[in-house]
Structure 1
């Protein structure tokens, strides 16, 4: 299930850009295209991108520099970056990984392999911190003890509400579609629909409201939800 994930492809070769966009579209992804690094960075500011395919050799700003800027920006550093390049030397690969690239594919590549790497990258989109405790404002989630608290108050959540809140807390401020939430929380259950997301968001809100007047979950009408108290 792709969940309509948003993929940004930054590639200056028109034929390669078209090939990637076509195959990603067939897989059900929402594709954004850029032919320069500057254009790619602008799209990242305007859209909630889930994964980036980035060509190393770009005019003006190189793919390496684009990757560096993405990983230095706290709003975009969580986005998996797969570098696409004809540079197959080990030193180049290490250089790319050192500045934050999550994966590295050497041209010419197999489309099937690349799509597989995209799926792997998306599975990691919301779990890259490696932290045992997630914090947003005064809301704390302990992943080891499976405990959620708001200040001094403990919040009792069901297993699905816990997973849902974890997805939100791993990407605070990002607007997540119902399809994306289905993909992350109900990954192995293909018999649920987007209404299920609304039901469990409602339960999560109810649990949080028992200890706080703050509405932590913002509804984006016609699209989905975000962990965002508007500060």
Structure 2
């Protein structure tokens, strides 16, 4: 699989750097955030394979961040929570909010690394066999195909990636920069017509088999999956 991308949200610089160094040595791509607000900014602009989340954060608490992630963005990214609180009711509350795992501070980095690997492998396995349906469109991760009314669309790699981003994040509005950097894996250098042309091509290919609208233009912002 591709190099897994982990977001570390921890305001203690020493702890954040330790986690960063350990994961980097294990060939993970890591992004560091030192507040809940900074973490929120990152998830609005980038998709991650896993998030390591402290709770006592400046700006936006870990609980508030979790609510943003699960109920507003509707992301199912695995989240490992770091906290010094050990009471069972507190842990159960976090699982109710959408946490996938819980590591109590202070912790051994070996244990955290083991939990990270478990969730990355589990998520990769589920992604391999996942399929998503929107109206008459079916996106299949296992066969890497997109179908309309049982007809497989002939898509370029970037067109496929754009549809993948939209169907996996049905409530998110993607800017042109978001789509370019995620689908091309390159830095967006400014306004151009690349994304607009690709969206137009996708719409044309879908309309050959279905007159329904599948991609909405959010004027002044970008694109999202239609409602």
Does residue 47 (structure 1) correspond to residue 54 (structure 2)? The answer is: no
1:84-95 matched pairs, under 5 angstroms: 84-95=82-93
> Contact between 1:41 and 1:66, CA under 8 Å: does it hold in 2?
yes
> In the alignment, does 2:126 pair up with 1:121?
no
The equivalences for 1:176-191 within 5 A come to none
CA separation of 1:151/1:91 partners in 2, compared to 1, >3 Å: closer, same or farther?
same
> What SS class does the counterpart of residue 98 from structure 1 fall into?
helix
Q: CA deviation at 1:128?
A: 6.5
Moved more, 115-124 or 5-14: 115-124
Higher helix fraction (1 or 2)? 2
Q: Which stretch shows the higher mean deviation, 106-115 or 13-22?
A: 106-115
Match of 1:186 in 2: none
Rounded to whole Å, the distance in 1 between the matches of 2:94 and 2:86 is 11
Change over 3 Å in CA distance of 1:141–1:34 after alignment to 2: closer
Indicate the residue corresponding to 2:218 in structure 1.
Answer: none
After superposition, the Cα gap between the structure-2 partners of 1:118 and 1:212, relative to the gap in structure 1 and judged at 3 Å, is farther
- CA apart distance, 1:124: 3.7
Structure 1 runs of 4+ with >2 Å offset = 123-129, 131-134, 136-143, 148-156, 168-178, 211-214, 228-231
Residue 66 of structure 1 is matched in structure 2 by 65
Shift of 1:123: 2.7
Specify the alignment match of 2:168 in structure 1: 171
In structure 2, what is the equivalent of residue 106 of structure 1?
104
1:5 aligns with 2:13: no
Using a 3 Å threshold, how does the CA distance of structure 1 residues 121 and 177 change in structure 2: closer, same or farther?
A: farther
Which residue matches 1:153?
150
Scaled by the length of structure 2, the TM-score of the pair is 0.62
Per the normalisation by structure 1, the TM-score is 0.61
- CA 1:5–1:213 in 2, change beyond 3 Å: closer, same or farther? farther
| Corresponding residue SS for 2:168 | coil
How many pairs align? 178
> 1:17 — aligned with what?
16
Shift of 1:138: 3.0
Supply the distance in 1 between the matched residues of 2:51 and 2:131 (Cα, whole angstroms).
Answer: 27
2:80 pairs, out of 62, 70, 82, with 82
